[in-house]
Chains A and B, each alone.
Chain A
């Protein structure tokens, strides 16, 4: 890895929603206003990265022209003011590369690159897939260890694979979580001095204590003040305070939603349904999900609202939908 962009892969990686109307047309006017607001709130410079078409932005569901419009909008509004990223989740490497080249030509700094999967990939499959993009698009690559999306027997990014990726010029980091705490920490111990690791979830300070450079940020879309506070604690290595903050907020919404007493069952094929619902409950209306994803029951919605209200997160929310008016 010789890509100088690695130093920019740090801070709060804000995964932006994709604003749509009821006909599923993109609302780029709203997208622009939301991006401007985030910049105005301080998500600029080295404070973070803005990502379009990530999981919460329903990147999996976007047509080429929609993806390209989002890239252009992001660059128009934020290019040069904050590092930028686009999510790519294609199995077809030629399509993934075409999209990566568009992003690179537009000036986007990074890709979030999901693991290719239909059946479960081999290590060679993942390496060759990544290498093809590395060799054909001049853009920093953040590989995404989305192991839970691979079918049985399952695949996680391994030590051996990361060692091979040190030869790939544009691979600068990993969006990192693991099914195993030992693997989660062990990989950081081995590679945090060579790659930038972004914590996927950040339920506690463990990853930051072991050299991670930032965190994937869902709540920053409505609560950038909280993102900046967390970043301050990380950069000043005030990890105990970070743990206390995360614990006080019950920030690990995934676990709370799934384990809190009385939680109604709900699963979804992708992240977008959860994302739009939670944003909506925090005051950010982003529009309809792309089809054809099942929507949660009213009981699940009520439960989610209760968890959010009890968490204390709303004290950090500065977003007001009137900003889009």
Chain B
């Protein structure tokens, strides 16, 4: 079963926003409309996986009942046309396993499972956390090397991945690494055992080294762009992929025309992702409370960056889709 399941980790791993009103109530009608729209645009099995309650969806900020509701909704609206994934980021292995079981019971295919951290974990801490969930929930596990949130920048080692990739339910890994050598070396070593998902789709580099998927924010408003990228990946047309990335200068750091961003730490991904989507015409509502929202200066920066990137030529989303539904 594991082999078949992991083969479904291909193309865009579309990290969906969570639609909310000003009081942070979930707008499930909007969630359904947007998710169905993405599927109808072609974000389907083999080309996409629908990640509901991921980083863009502020999974860290969700209450348990909201998480369960979103997991169920994702499965219902995917209608079997696309695999569904959730993200779980808990220090408590018991809480992580409980949420994974909730998702599995709802029919969710995969969980993007963060390693534990409060202080810096040891390798054994990380392994035991994954094993605890592996042994208790029947759901495909996608490892997440979120080294930048570790107090000591801990990044999964070859030795740890040797142990983790032997766990029955470990199907893939959301992968980036502090060094290029690590990034490509691990992809080469483990790409035939687990599916590798690029956390930062940067030209064709990861794809050339066998990575089959990529984390996708832009596809929420520009699925045509995501599908085109995926098609180039599947065809092994790396030069065209490079040309596309060079043409659509969406990388905020390394494009020739990039605009330096105002520097500011953010406690989680939500506010940043939501403002990027808003710049593309997709307004999902405010971030959950207790975290600073972006400054007007930063929002203006994102707007200019989006316009300069050329990505708007690929955007098919229109907020009036909600009115027509």
Contact = CB atoms under 8 A, between A and B. Distances in A.
Contacts of B125: 268-269, 292-294
Contact of A293 (B62, B128, B148): B128
B264 interface: yes
Contacts of A269: 91, 116-122, 125
A152 B289 contact: no
Contact of A119 (B92, B95, B131, B266): B266
Interface stretch (A120-128, A206-214, A250-258, A314-322): A120-128
Contacts of B92: 60-63, 290
Given A150-B151, A151-B117, A294-B122, 11 more contacts: A93-B288, A94-B288, A94-B289, A118-B268, A119-B268, A119-B269, A121-B265, A268-B121, A268-B125, A292-B93, A293-B125
25 contacts: A60-B91, A61-B95, A91-B268, A93-B289, A94-B24, A94-B288, A94-B290, A120-B265, A122-B266, A128-B289, A128-B290, A149-B119, A151-B149, A151-B151, A155-B265, A267-B121, A269-B116, A271-B119, A290-B92, A290-B94, A291-B93, A291-B128, A293-B125, A294-B124, A294-B125
A60 B118 contact: yes
Given A119-B266, A269-B116, A269-B119, A129 B128 contact: no
B199 to A, nearest CB: 14
B132 interface: yes
Interface in A284-305: 290-294
A128 B267 CA distance: 11
Interface string A125-151: 101110010000000000000001111
A148 to B, nearest CB: 6
Contacts of A259: none
Interface of B: 24, 60-63, 89, 91-95, 116-122, 124-125, 127-129, 131-132, 148-151, 153, 264-269, 288-292
Contacts of A270: 91, 118-119
Q: How large is the interface on A (under 10, 10 to 19, 20 to 34, 35 or more residues)?
A: 35 or more
A110 interface: no
Nearest to B114: A118
Nearest to A92: B61
B128 to A, nearest CB: 4
Given A61-B92, A116-B290, A292-B93, A149 B118 contact: yes
Contacts of B265: 119-122, 125, 153, 155
B291 A116 contact: yes
A92 to B, nearest CB: 5
B128 A292 contact: yes
Q: Could you tell me the dominant secondary structure of chain A's interface residues?
A: loop
B291 A125 contact: yes
A128 B131 contact: no
Nearest to A124: B292
Given A61-B91, A119-B266, A267 B120 contact: yes
A121 B63 contact: no
A89 interface: yes
A117 interface: yes
Contacts of B129: 292
Given A152-B148, A292-B132, A93 B122 contact: no
B94 A92 contact: no
A95 interface: yes
B267 A122 contact: yes
Contacts of B266: 119, 121-122, 125
A151 B119 contact: no
Contact of A132 (B119, B264, B290): B290
Given A122-B292, A270-B119, A91 B94 contact: no
A96 interface: yes
Contacts of A268: 119, 121-122, 125
Contacts of B93: 290-292
B151 A291 contact: no
Given A92-B288, A118-B149, A132-B290, A294 B91 contact: no
Nearest to A125: B267
A119 B122 CA distance: 19
Nearest to A147: B151
A287 to B, nearest CB: 15
A125 B292 contact: yes
Contacts of A116: 267, 290-291
Contacts of B292: 122, 124-125, 127-128
